[in-house]
């Protein structure tokens, strides 16, 4: 491959780029920015989609929510026994969970209640339930939640403000590390009874019911049975959540389509300028080259090197900029389109994963088009007689 490169023509092409450096620098910078914008969007979409798919796979097959006046309400814990009577249900757990706003720090904590005797679909809750025997006035907090509390001088305990306005002092039993996924931010784990007290629930109230099914192919059938048995229920299926995030982060969604259109519109303005033909100085240059004996293929090969040198280097730099922006700088501004600032871990960083299909797509919608836009006008001029070009 390297032996087939004509380094004399390559050197001439690089000098030609330098001779028109003002114009080429502008094209080079715009090219990098366009590739970086498109690559950042695609990388962020692909990485977040991958993260959410991994998280959702730890969810229960079905979640049963009670609705009252079209708003989410609570169930009595006895509903769990009713759910277990439905054929095909392997396990049902009444969950107590919700959000708690810490006004002083302007942050939201996710409170999860657990029972040491229950089996949870979430491996984190299962592990914590088996490891710790939580007391009525103790809790476990994630490392990100611990940082927030320490900044506000809560190191050994925290005072929750309950629904009735009174305070509840809860001791911090341990700090645990969370898997680095998008949804696991500022989590507090406590006993179901303590969570009920803070939320103002009655002793038998639960937030929802997490259901596991024996045969995954029967999930939709069991969901229909649940809907028939619990008229005012809202049924959430894990497979529906998977489809939802598939749609949100699909390249054909409105946001990504808008980015594609803006990027390609700007890029095709550059291509149109290139396709409009060489300027008079470039035409005279081609005429001189033909007059001194250059063949058409030599001229086109030099233009090929010129187009490749500029577009390929801009493409690679654009990809590098996008990788640094998304995976190391955590995509400032762009991530806010998809993520709630309250729920994002302060030290969270998306796992570096480059999809080859995305890289190939970016390459073929940029480099070959620019090279073609460089060669075609030169070919039109190079096929003319030298004296005609000089005139």
Residues 298, 377: one domain? yes
Last residue of a domain, one of 188, 203, 238: 238
The reply to whether 243 falls in a domain is: no
Residues 323, 366: one domain? yes
140-150 burial, b if ≥16 CB within 10 A, otherwise e?
bbbebbbbbbe
Residues 194, 332: one domain? no
Alpha-carbon distance values, 141 to 21, 190, 236, 272, 299 (Å) = 57, 9, 28, 58, 68
Residue 311 CA to residue 362 CA, distance in Å, equals 12
Q: Which helix (H) or strand (E) holds 20?
A: none
The reply to whether 164 falls in a domain is: yes
Give the number of domains in the chain: 2
pTM of the model: 0.75
The reply to whether 12 falls in a domain is: yes
Would you write out the chain's pLDDT as a tens digit for each of its 391 residues? 444 778 888 888 888 888 888 888 999 999 999 999 889 888 888 888 888 888 788 889 999 999 998 889 999 999 999 999 999 999 999 999 999 999 999 999 999 999 877 777 778 888 888 888 888 899 999 988 999 999 999 999 999 999 999 999 999 999 998 765 555 568 999 999 999 999 999 999 999 999 999 999 999 999 999 999 999 899 999 999 888 877 777 654 566 667 777 787 888 877 777 777 666 667 777 777 777 778 888 888 888 999 999 999 999 999 999 999 998 888 888 877 766 544 444 445 677 888 888 899 889 989 998 998 888 888 877 776 655 555 5
Residue 281 CA to residue 261 CA, distance in Å, equals 34
Last residue of a domain, one of 238, 259, 284: 238
Helices (H), the chain: 7-19, 21-56, 79-84, 123-131, 143-151, 192-199, 219-229, 238-248, 254-275, 280-291, 296-323, 356-364, 367-382, 386-390
Sign of CA dihedral 75, 81, 87, 89: positive
**Structural domain that includes position 198:** 60-238
Residues 276, 362: one domain? yes
The reply to whether 33 falls in a domain is: yes
Residues sharing a CB contact under 8 Å with residue 322, sequence separation 6 or more, in sequence order: 35, 36, 39, 40, 43
Tell me, what DSSP letter sits at residue 186?
S
The reply to whether 117 falls in a domain is: yes
Last residue of a domain, one of 219, 238, 257: 238
Burial bucket for residue 315 (CB in 10 Å: 0-12, 13-18, 19+): buried
Residue listed under structure tokens 């460089």: 374
Residues 100, 219: one domain? yes
Residues 115, 223: one domain? yes
Residues 23, 72: one domain? no
């Amino acid at each position: 491959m390297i032996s087939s490169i004509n380094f004399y023509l390559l050197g001439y092409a690089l000098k030609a780029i330098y001779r028109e450096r003002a114009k080429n620098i502008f094209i080079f910078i715009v090219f990098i920015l366009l590739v970086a914008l498109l690559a950042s969007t695609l990388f962020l979409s692909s990485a977040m989609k991958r993260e959410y798919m991994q998280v959702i796979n730890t969810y229960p097959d079905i979640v049963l929510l009670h609705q009252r006046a079209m708003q989410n309400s609570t169930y009595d814990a006895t509903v769990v026994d009713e759910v277990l009577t439905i054929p095909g249900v392997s396990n049902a757990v009444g969950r107590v969970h919700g959000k708690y706003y810490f006004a002083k720090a302007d942050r939201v904590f996710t409170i999860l209640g657990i029972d040491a005797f229950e089996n949870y679909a979430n491996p984190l809750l299962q592990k914590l339930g088996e490891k710790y025997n939580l007391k009525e006035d103790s809790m476990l907090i994630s490392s990100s939640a611990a940082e927030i509390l320490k900044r506000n001088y809560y190191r050994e305990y925290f005072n929750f403000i309950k629904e009735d306005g009174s305070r509840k002092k809860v001791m911090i039993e341990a700090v645990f590390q969370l898997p680095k996924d998008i949804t696991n931010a500022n989590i507090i784990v406590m006993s179901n009874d303590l969570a009920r007290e803070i939320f103002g629930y009655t002793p038998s109230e639960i937030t929802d019911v997490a259901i596991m099914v024996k045969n995954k192919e029967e999930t939709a059938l069991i969901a229909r049975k649940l809907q028939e048995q619990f008229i005012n229920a809202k049924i959430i299926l894990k497979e529906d959540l998977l489809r939802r995030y598939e749609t949100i982060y699909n390249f054909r969604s409105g946001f990504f389509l808008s980015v594609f259109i803006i990027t390609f519109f700007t890029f095709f303005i550059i291509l149109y300028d290139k396709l409009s033909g060489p300027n008079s100085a470039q035409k005279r240059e081609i005429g001189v080259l033909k007059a001194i004996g250059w063949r058409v293929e030599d001229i086109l090969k030099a233009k090929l090197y010129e187009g490749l040198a500029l577009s390929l280097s801009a493409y690679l730099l654009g990809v590098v900029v996008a990788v640094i922006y998304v995976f190391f700088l955590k995509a400032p501004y762009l991530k806010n389109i998809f993520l709630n600032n309250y729920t994002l871990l302060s030290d969270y960083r998306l796992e570096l994963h480059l999809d080859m299909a995305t890289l190939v797509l970016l390459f073929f919608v940029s480099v070959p088009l620019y090279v073609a836009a460089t060669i075609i006008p030169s070919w039109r001029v190079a096929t003319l007689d030298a004296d005609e070009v000089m005139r």
